[in-house]
Amino acid sequence: MEKICFKTAKGPAAVGPYSTATIYGDTIYLSGMIGIDPAVQKPVEGDTLAQAKQAFANIETVLGELGATMDDVLKTTVYLTDIGEFAAVNQLYAEAFAPNFPARTCVEVAKLPMGLSIEVECIARVRK
């Protein structure tokens, strides 16, 4: 099998030296998505919920470029700078991934890129 490195054309540009996703076999490894508006390549204004909504939209956009959907997500890792935001983010998460929720890890971290408060990475299946 060959490793395929993918750079998005419709989602937010990488803020460092990495691919938007790596595809290996039947699996998509999506880099962490943050609340960047791809139209202007800047963080969305607002709180953690506004950032989460944009991060989930970015995930959906990039998966769509790869021919996958939110239903193809197998596992997520959610990074929050304030675990106190968990319940509110959880409601948006439920809407984004319903009805077939992927496995998930959620952890609190000290800081995230660009001073944002949430980042979400995913592992998804390649849709055949």
Q: Which CATH architecture has domain 3-125?
A: 2-Layer Sandwich (3.30)
Residue 106 annotated among the catalytic residues of the structure: yes
Categorise residue 114: left if φ over 0, alpha if ψ from -120 to 50, beta otherwise. Answer: left
pLDDT in tens, the chain (128 residues): 899 999 999 999 988 899 999 999 999 999 999 999 999 999 999 999 999 999 999 999 999 999 999 999 999 999 999 999 999 999 999 999 999 999 999 999 999 999 999 999 999 999 87
Any bridge partners for residue 14, and if so which?
Answer: none
> In whole angstroms, what is the distance from residue 41 CA to residue 106 CA?
26
Helix (H) or strand (E) holding 114: none
pTM of the model: 0.96
> In whole angstroms, what is the distance from residue 46 CA to residue 55 CA?
13
So where are the chain's domains? 3-125
The one catalytic residue among 49, 50, 57, 106: 106
